[in-house]
Amino acid sequence: MIPSREKPFTYEKLMFQLRTLILLFRLDIFLLCTKPFSSSQFPPTPTYKTHQPLHKPPILSKHPFNNSLFTQMALSTTNTLLPTKSFIQSPPPPFKSSPATTVSTTTTTTRFIHPISAVHSSDSSKTPTPKPSSPATSATASTTTPKLTTATKPATKWSVDSWRTKKALQLPEYPDQSELDSVLQTLDSFPPIVFAGEARHLEERLAEAAMGNAFLLQGGDCAESFKEFNANNIRDTFRVILQMGVVLMFGGQMPVIKVGRMAGQFAKPRSDSFEEKNGVKLPSYRGDNVNGDAFDLKSRTPDPQRLIRAYCQSAATLNLLRAFATGGYAAMQRVTQWNLDFTEHSEAGDRYQELASRVDEALGFMSAIGLTTDHPIMTTTDFWTSHECLHLPYEQSLTRLDSTSSLYYDCSAHFLWAGERTRQLDGAHVEFLRGIANPLGIKVSDKMDPNELVKLIDILNPQNKPGRITIITRMGAENMRVKLPHLIRAVRRAGQIVTWVSDPMHGNTIKAPSGLKTRPFDSIRAEVRAFFDVHEQEGSHPGGVHLEMTGQNVTECIGGSRTVTFDDLGSRYHTHCDPRLNASQSLELAFIIAERLRKRRMGVKQSLSP
């Protein structure tokens, strides 16, 4: 009998065969999934730096192949197909792959394929430029899968000075560029005015406002000035904002996010680069950080040294605001002491005193039952600063790389916005803003096209992070009712999350018989009501209000309970730019908004009741 040469059947042999079958099966799935697709259908793979962006919610690719379950299985399988050499000798590739999209069976070249849209604008690696494909492959790709929408994606890598490659509007022309460069280098060495963590906290709060769970109160000077810089003016504006916050919080029964147009709101856009009087033509006044408002050549010539002074004033203003916010001045126990002397006997002042007495009674009740009112939540308040992102060289010099998140923040303010004149999709201001991680605002007038707004939001917030984008509408009451619904619907269709805010000031500026600019309080009130009406009609959230106001007893806007008339304008008209609400008018408007918030809250409660 000839002994058999076949080895006896063993458990190890069975397991080896099973493992081989499983690997072959998984490889077949991989080849099957990749066969129908051509190389032109794969978006190029971004090259990431060692740090990951702070804003990284799970974004699905617009490409159907990248989101498929089989793709994830196939890509993960390549790491397990043998750690060294494959036992399958070089199978023919199912498609011709480009270097950017190669998927190999060895671990040395295996990479996940990321869609372009997964790169956030505030990631320092920024958006890669896709390689052009041949006409043949492009035609094939267009017949098998939807085309990736990349028209609104910036094609260049972002850096703090990449805005210089774009067209920059509203920037002053300095006579001595070397002096400007020297000043900017000095500013670059200065410490930041705000910190990245504070801006992140504000973004989280604004996300609550986007969902209807908080309300933004943003207010302050049209343009800060060097001449009016003193502690009393800062304190008075701050406490009017505190008063308005209490009124809104009481009416809406929700947190109020207090943001000042303070500590940096200097630069102003101009319709014309030059101003002419009596045959004399001089550069337009662009804010105290650029030039002076006196109509003479020396004052109107842009001076770089003013940027240093603006930085110092901003830092000092914020230092005082921090002291007021955390040092006991903002304690709720002082709610009855916040009224300014000239508002005490006004209608709004009387209503505030009545409200303050009710708050004081509530605090007394809390103390009686043993709940301490000394907790920081009762003795301090959060307060943030904001200004228009206009003077790009200054903003660049104060932009810092945050060590905790490896993201860039513009540390001149917590919140910055793009103005109506500087929000071009391919403009320098949008280019700068897309790369910083601060929460951002977009000023929108009745001229804004809904599709353009969607594209702009996509550039500034490609990962659709709640709280990053605030849309500040400035249209006038009638235009608000006609134009705003289309913007809301377009943003909703795109699935974009934004905070909607009303600026009832800029769309209601008129010229008085005396030639002074003014704003009727009735028009401001009408636009606020239109804003709430439209959001109620569309089922969206009115997220806040943006006001040009002051704590001073000025007469710049006509109307209100104290009935400021055209004849009164000249008595206390102190603004350097546009007319502002005084303290009494601001408080009166806060009560109007609080009533709308209360009605909205009661309507929600009724709709939820069984």
29 burial level (CB within 10 Å; 0-12, 13-18, 19+): middle
Residue with tokens 């550069």: 283
Top-confidence residue, 49 or 408: 408
Of the candidates 153, 190, 154, 39, the residue with the CA atom closest to the CA atom of residue 100: 39
Strands 469-473 and 499-502: parallel
Which H or E run contains 548? strand 542-548
What pLDDT, on the 0 to 100 scale, is given for residue 609?
A: 60
Least confidently predicted of 31-40, 448-457, 463-472, 550-559: 31-40
Q: Is 506 labelled a binding residue? A: yes
Is the pLDDT at 42 greater than 50, yes or no?
no
Distance CA 490, CA 65 (A): 27
Residue with tokens 């705003």: 484
Name the percent of the chain lying above pLDDT 90. Answer: 62
Kindly give the interhelix angle for 583-608 and 231-252, rounded to the nearest 10 degrees. Answer: 20
Q: Are 101 and 45 in contact (CB under 8 A)?
A: yes
Distance CA 138, CA 404 (A): 42
Q: Is 478 labelled a binding residue? A: no
Q: Is 334 labelled a binding residue? A: no
* Range 61-85 average pLDDT: 34
Distance CA 183, CA 463 (A): 36
One-letter-per-residue 3-state SS of 301-368? CCCCHHHHHHHHHHHHHHHHHHHHHHCCCCCHHHHHHCCCHHHCCCHHHHHHHHHHHHHHHHHHHHHH
What pLDDT, on the 0 to 100 scale, is given for residue 610?
A: 59
Q: What is the pTM of this model?
A: 0.75
Tokens of 513: 């018989």
Q: 449-478 burial, b for 16+ CB within 10 Å, e for fewer?
A: ebebbbbbbbbbbbbbbbbbbbbbbbbbbe
Cβ neighbours of 216 (radius 10 Å):
28
Q: Is 344 labelled a binding residue? A: no
Distances (CA, A) of 436 to 200, 302, 392, 417: 12, 27, 13, 12
Residue with tokens 């907790």: 375
Q: Read off the DSSP letter of residue 564.
A: B
What pLDDT, on the 0 to 100 scale, is given for residue 2?
A: 41
What pLDDT, on the 0 to 100 scale, is given for residue 374?
A: 73
* Range 93-102 average pLDDT: 36
Of the candidates 557, 497, 555, the residue with the CA atom closest to the CA atom of residue 527: 557
Q: Are 471 and 542 in contact (CB under 8 A)?
A: no
Residue with tokens 């209490």: 246
What pLDDT, on the 0 to 100 scale, is given for residue 143?
A: 30
Q: Biggest alpha carbon distance in the chain?
A: 128
Distance CA 141, CA 124 (A): 31
Tens digits of residue pLDDT in 114-163: 332 333 444 544 433 333 333 333 333 333 333 333 344 555 899 999 99
Q: Give the list of residues 6+ apart from residue 332 with CB closer than 8 angstroms, or none.
A: 359, 363, 373, 378, 379
* Range 254-280 average pLDDT: 96
Tens digits of residue pLDDT in 328-364: 888 887 887 777 665 666 777 788 888 888 887 887 7
- pLDDT band for 232, please (50, 70, 90 cuts): very high
What pLDDT, on the 0 to 100 scale, is given for residue 335?
A: 82
Name the percent of the chain lying above pLDDT 70. Answer: 72
Ranges of each domain in the chain: 14-41+60-115, 162-604
Q: Are 129 and 105 in contact (CB under 8 A)?
A: no
What pLDDT, on the 0 to 100 scale, is given for residue 350?
A: 81
Is the pLDDT at 421 greater than 90, yes or no?
yes
At 435, give phi and psi (nearest 5°): -100, -10
What pLDDT, on the 0 to 100 scale, is given for residue 21?
A: 58
Residues in the chain: 610
Strands 542-548 and 215-220: parallel
Q: Is 572 labelled a binding residue? A: no
Q: Is 535 labelled a binding residue? A: no
Strands 274-277 and 280-283: antiparallel
470, β-bridge pairs: 441, 499
Q: Strand runs (DSSP E) across 178-265, as ranges?
A: 215-220, 256-261
What pLDDT, on the 0 to 100 scale, is given for residue 86?
A: 33
Domain at 162-604, CATH from 3.40.50.300, 3.20.20.70, 3.30.450.20, 3.40.50.1110:
3.20.20.70
Kindly give the interhelix angle for 428-435 and 450-460, rounded to the nearest 10 degrees. Answer: 40
Is the pLDDT at 4 greater than 90, yes or no?
no
Tens digits of residue pLDDT in 578-590: 999 999 999 999 9
Which H or E run contains 282? strand 280-283
Tens digits of residue pLDDT in 428-443: 999 999 999 999 999 9
Tokens of 333: 């126990």
Q: Is 489 labelled a binding residue? A: no
Distance CA 440, CA 433 (A): 8
Distances (CA, A) of 440 to 54, 372, 454, 493, 528: 16, 37, 15, 21, 22
443 burial level (CB within 10 Å; 0-12, 13-18, 19+): buried
What pLDDT, on the 0 to 100 scale, is given for residue 596?
A: 96
Q: Give the list of residues 6+ apart from residue 210 with CB closer than 8 angstroms, or none.
A: 466, 467, 497, 498, 499, 541, 543
Top-confidence residue, 80 or 188: 188
* Range 220-232 average pLDDT: 95
426, β-bridge pairs: none
